[in-house]
Every structure is written in C-alpha cells, then in structure tokens.
C-alpha cells in the first residue's frame, strides 16, 4: 500500500535530532513495548511482516503523531484483535479508555508467476505496480531502473507472508540506483541501494 510509512524521498522534513551514542530507550514503558511485540513474534502469535503491515495501516494522523514505541504497541494490539485473542471492547475496558488501532487490511498476493532470475551486473526495471496490501517496495523506486549488485538467500515473500497467503520464498536483489534516476534534478549525487524482491523486478528493456 502507498502508506504514510513510505517516507523515502518525502520533502518538508527537518534536521535530524542527532545525539551521538543515544541509548535505545528513553522511558521504562518503551522497554515493555519493545519486549511485548518480541514475545508475540517469538511464540508465533504473529510474524514480522504482519507486524510491520499492522503499523503501516495506522491512520496517517495517528502514525505521524505517535512515537516509535506507540506505533509498535498499536501494531501489536491491532493484530491481537484481528486474530481473535481479545475484542476491541475488552481491550478498551482493560485500558480504561479508547485504544486506537490500525485500519483493516486489503488482501495480500502470492509471488509473481515466472518471475525472472537475475545475476550481479544485470540491469533491471522495478515493476510499475500499485499493491493494495503489504509490499516492501518503497515507492521511490517504482518504475525506476537500476543494476543488481548482490543477491540474498530466499526470504518469505512479504506481500503474502503479511496476509497468511501461501507463497514460495524468494531472493532479494540489492539493486543500485543513481539518485538522479530516482529524483531527476532533485537529489544529492549518490547511489541508493534497495533490497528488492524478485517479484518486483523485470529485466530492463
């Protein structure tokens, strides 16, 4: 989905609030939030793709106003309700107030049939696709051309794995894009590398 989480290349943001050697946590409750989603993953209540997608489905206004660990908690709570471990009413009764959750999901999809294989050095084109459910193709590479510089072992296909759809694992390719290809006349000169699932790619014509 073209969600609010897909931030790469968005303009209007400000200076990075950089603090060297920042610790991972700023409050005790953040430690709990970090642990609870980890526990849910460990015991198999949910997988990482479901978790990421639940966060992506948060209402944009909520996503942008929530801290990182509030987004984490919202994603976890959304999945606990969707998977029937608790009702929203019960969750709100336990919390003593409203408990904003993420919006419902669109259906997922399986692998692209007959997706080609690539080798390092191959020139590739990212499919010009608009996927309704979970997808790990940042929109800034959609329809763009790059060169394969690496290949991973097969991973679960996120577009399926986030939705309980059966699919084959597939490799990702580290694809090198020139920043000028991604944002013509609108970026600092650099190469940007993205790990792209095989189903998202075709050979560059």
Partner 1 sequence: MPDVAGTHKSVAPIAQRLDAVESVLADRGLQPAEFVVEATRLVEERWVPENGARIVARAWTDPAFRARLLANGRAAAAELGFELPRHHRHLVFLEDTERVHNVICCTLCSCTAFTLIGLPPDWYKDFDYRARVVRESRTVLKEMGLDLPPEVEIRVWDTTADTRYVVLPLRPAGTEGWSEERLASLVTKDSMIGVARIAAPAA
Min CB(39)–partner 1 separation in Å: 5
Question: Does 136 sit near partner 1 (CB under 8 A)?
Answer: yes
Backbone torsions φ then ψ of 191, nearest 5 degrees: -110, 135
Please tell me whether residue 172 binds partner 1 under the rule CB under 8 A.
yes
- Provide the 3-class DSSP secondary structure of residue 106: coil
From candidates 127, 142, 145, 193, binder to partner 1 by CB under 8 A: 193
Pick 127 or 193: Cβ nearer partner 1: 193
Whether 116 contacts 201, CB under 8 Å:
yes
The contacts of residue 28 (CB under 8 Å, 6+ apart) are none
SS3 at position 1:
coil
**Contact with partner 1 (CB under 8 A): which of 2, 39, 116, 204?**
39
Nearest approach in angstroms of CB 113 to partner 1 is 21
Nearer to partner 1, 67 or 164 (CB): 67
Task: Give me the residue label for tokens 């997922």.
Answer: 108
- Of the listed pieces 18-26, 111-119, 121-129, which binds partner 1 according to CB under 8 A? 18-26
Helix 68-82 / helix 48-56 crossing angle, nearest 10 deg? 110
Residues 74-93 that bind partner 1 (CB under 8 A): 76-77, 80, 85-86, 91-92
Instruction: Locate 165 and state its tokens.
Output: 């759809």
Please select the residue that binds partner 1; options are 129, 132, 191, 203, rule is CB under 8 A: 191
Radius of gyration for the alpha carbons in the chain, expressed in angstroms and rounded: 19
Q: Phi first, then psi: what are they for 71, rounded to 5°?
A: -65, -40
CB of 144 to partner 1, least distance (A): 12
**Which of 44, 205 has the CB closer to partner 1?**
44
46 binds partner 1 (CB under 8 A): no
Question: By the 8 A CB rule, do 49 and 70 touch?
Answer: no
């Amino acid at each position: 989905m073209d969600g609010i989480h897909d931030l790469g290349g968005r303009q209007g943001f400000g200076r990075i609030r950089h603090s060297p050697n920042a610790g991972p946590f700023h409050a005790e409750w953040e430690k709990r939030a970090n642990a609870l989603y980890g526990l849910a993953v460990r015991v198999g209540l949910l997988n990482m793709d479901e978790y990421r997608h639940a966060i992506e489905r948060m209402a944009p206004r909520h996503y942008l106003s929530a801290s990182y660990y509030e987004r984490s908690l919202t994603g976890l709570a959304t999945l606990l309700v969707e998977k029937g471990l608790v009702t929203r009413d019960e969750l709100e009764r336990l919390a003593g107030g409203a408990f904003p959750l993420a919006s419902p999901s669109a259906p997922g999809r399986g692998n692209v049939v007959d997706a080609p294989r690539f080798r390092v050095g191959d020139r590739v084109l990212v499919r010009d696709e608009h996927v309704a459910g979970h997808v790990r193709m940042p929109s800034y590479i959609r329809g763009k051309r790059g060169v394969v510089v690496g290949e991973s072992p097969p991973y679960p296909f996120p577009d399926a794995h986030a939705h309980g759809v059966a699919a084959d694992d597939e490799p990702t390719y580290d694809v090198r894009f020139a920043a000028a290809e991604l944002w013509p006349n609108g970026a600092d000169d650099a190469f940007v590398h993205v790990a792209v699932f095989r189903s998202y790619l075709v050979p560059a014509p």
